[in-house]
Amino acid sequence: MPDLRQTSGYLYLHDTKFTRKNIREKAGLAIAPAPAFKEYAGAEKIALPVNPARPAAELWGLLQQRRSQRKFADNPMSLDDLALLLWACQGVTAQAGPYLLRTAPSAGALYPIETYVAAERIQNLPAGLFHFNVRTFQLERLSEGAAAPLVARAALDQSFISQAAAVFIWSAVLRRNMAKYGQRGLRYILLDAGHICQNLQLAAAAQGRHSCPVAALYDDELNNLLGLDGEEESVIYLAPVG
Ligand SMILES: Cc1cc2nc3c(=O)[nH]c(=O)nc-3n(C[C@H](O)[C@H](O)[C@H](O)COP(=O)(O)O)c2cc1C
């Protein structure tokens, strides 16, 4: 068994510690930034309902209720409900200069996380893989046909994932954050993803649905499914909802 101090995780945390002495040299890397938004220009666009009714929900109750649940109802989800869940993940709630501020916080307002959806049972939306366009609040179709079983396979064959009405998949565009924060940026990227997933779980609970965070996955199998290179952009997290 390797000693904790020999693991790449430990060494990474150690190497990216800020101290009063190193703060100047450690802040920032001279690498080119990436665009702040991703858009699939040629993809079929599906407009999401902008102002769907929000179920009355009380934060304290939702915090008590939130659980990782691995059984999902058979009934389909409305497009309104899917739109609300996407809004909870990455909805724009304010603008500050060039930054589109969202429902979840992000280090430096850089928003390195992209959201994709494997839609299985959504009313009026044929099954497929989609990218969520934050700026236009649209889904962009990447492929047609049931994708949740493929996601489940790529997530260490955790079969409950294939029963979801929709699977939310999050990737990290490393350069978007790391051009500013350097090596330390990876810490922030993973924290950003955690905030988004908690928002999704609370929103799913408000809709009376089940959800489960999943990070056990064959990274490149999911990257291939979504057409990501696994270098500039790589899948890090997902959550089935139903
Ligand atoms: C980063 C992270 C990764 C997780 N990965 C998985 C996973 O791959 N499969 C799974 O069934 N649950 C996964 N979970 C869910 C945890 O098992 C669950 O959060 C934990 O048992 C506590 O239960 P609770 O979320 O209901 O409070 C993950 C949770 C987190 C936060």
Domain ranges of the chain: 43-48+68-241
Among all chains, which residue has been given the structure tokens 């990227």? 189
pLDDT-based confidence at residue 29 (cuts at 50, 70, 90): low
Residue 138: strand pairing partners: 47, 133
For residue range 115-139, what is the model confidence (pLDDT) as tens digits? 999 999 999 999 999 999 999 999 9
At residue 242, does pLDDT exceed 70? Answer: yes
Which tokens sit at 107? Answer: 């280090």
Asked whether 240 and 204 are in contact (CB, 8 A), the reply is no
123 CA distance to ligand 1 middle (Å): 28
Is the beta carbon of 71 within 6 A of some atom in ligand 1? Answer: no
pTM across the whole model: 0.97
Which tokens sit at 75? Answer: 């009934």
Which of ligand 1's atoms lies nearest the C-alpha of 67? 26
Is the beta carbon of 64 within 6 A of some atom in ligand 1? Answer: no
Burial group, residue 200, by CB count within 10 angstroms (0-12, 13-18, 19+): buried
For residue range 159-190, what is the model confidence (pLDDT) as tens digits? 999 999 999 999 999 999 999 999 999 999 99
Which of ligand 1's atoms lies nearest the C-alpha of 160? 11
Which of ligand 1's atoms lies nearest the C-alpha of 69? 26
The domain over range 43-48+68-241 is classified in CATH as 3.40.190.10: no
